[in-house]
Each structure stands twice: as structure tokens, then as C-alpha cells.
Homo-oligomer: A and B are copies of this chain.
Amino acid sequence: MTTAQRLPARDRLLQAADRVLFDRGIRATPVDELLREAEVSAATLYAHFGSKDALVAEALRNRLADWRAVWDQHIVAAGDDMARLLAVFDALAAYRGGRHRPARWCAFLAAATELPDAPDEISEVLGADTALLAERLLQLSRPLAGARAQDLADEVLVAYSGALAALLRGSPRDPIQVGRRLARTAAEAHSRG
């Protein structure tokens, strides 16, 4: 183990952004708080990113990459078609229990709500998250639902989004498991034809 290294300012900023922004709220978090958390000066932030929005966008892109990787792992580890489809819920639970401080609900949907007039750079990340979900769920639905794969994929996307929104709501207690149940039942119904 080498001595503890201090990360460069840019990385400290991204870490602080990921830690604070999606937990306490993007608009609710002033730049000064990020600067304090990251122990970085304002000049450095604007030298590296140019704006708060650009820092938000980069933090979201990193989060999407991490989420995709976690989801990948859970798909690979799954044993059959049903488990592969439901892996999105296990991945979500794992992601939220992992090294990130869990967002209050969903960083991408929160950004969409909090920043309705956000620069394209930001709305593109939500679009990319949604596209990733829609495409993968469709692929994973095919072996289970055949010609009705699109219907099943839509249903799982709604169940997944519902788990996230229910986290924000605070009810039911364990929305990710509830969403998973919902998705499993839908998949079984389509399998029976």
C-alpha cells in the first residue's frame, strides 16, 4: 500500500459532484458547496469545466458509464433468460449499495426535472440512459416473449422507472424488490403466451 495520494483537483471535483449533487439536489447545491467539499478553488473549477452545468454533465456521464458496467456484470452473472431480464433490478440494488453515495432516487431523472432548460449536453445523458434501458430490455425480452418482446420491454422499463420514483416517494418500503416482482410476473405472463 503506497501512501495516500491526494487526487488532482479535477477528480476531487467530480467525486464531490457525484457525492453531493444527486443526493441533496442539483439546483439546491450551490457551487460554493462543491468547492468546499472538493477543497478546490473556484478558479480551478472554471478552468477545468467552464460552468456548473458542464461539471454536472460530466458527472452524469461518469455515472452512466458506471451504471452500465454494473448492469453488464449482473447480466453476465445471471443463469438463464429470466434472470438476465431481471438483472436490471439486482444491478440497481447493487449500484445503490456500492461505492457511490446513493442518489435520492435517480440522477438522470432528477436532472431532467430539476433542469428543464438544461443545455443539450445534459439532456443527452438522460436520453442515453433511456436508450440504453430501452434497447437492452428489448434484447433481453426476446427470448422470453418472442413477438411480444416490445410489450414486455416497455413493461419492465415502467417497472424499473417506478422503483426509482417510489424511492423518491418513500413508499413502498423496498420498491426495487416490488419492481422486480412486477417485472417477473409480466415476463411469466408473456412466456405463457
**Which of A61-69, A71-79, A110-118, A139-147 forms contacts with chain B?**
A110-118
Question: Which residues of A (167-190) have their CB < 8 Å from a CB of B?
Answer: 168-173, 175, 178-179, 181-182, 185-186, 188-189
Q: Is the CB of B130 within 8 A of A158?
A: no
Q: Is the CB of A24 within 8 A of B116?
A: yes
- The answer, yes or no, to whether A164 is at the interface (CB within 8 Å) is yes
Contacts of A179 in B (CB 8 A): 158, 162
Contacts of A168 in B (CB 8 A): 109, 112-113
Which residues of A come within 8 Å of B, CB atoms?
24-25, 27-28, 104-106, 109-110, 112-117, 126, 130, 133-134, 151, 154-155, 157-166, 168-173, 175, 178-179, 181-182, 185-186, 188-189
Q: Is the CB of B114 within 8 A of A114?
A: yes
The chain B residue with its CB closest to the CB of A113 is: B113
Q: Is the CB of B171 within 8 A of A134?
A: yes
The chain B residue with its CB closest to the CB of A116 is: B25
A190 to chain B minimum Cβ distance, whole angstroms, is 9
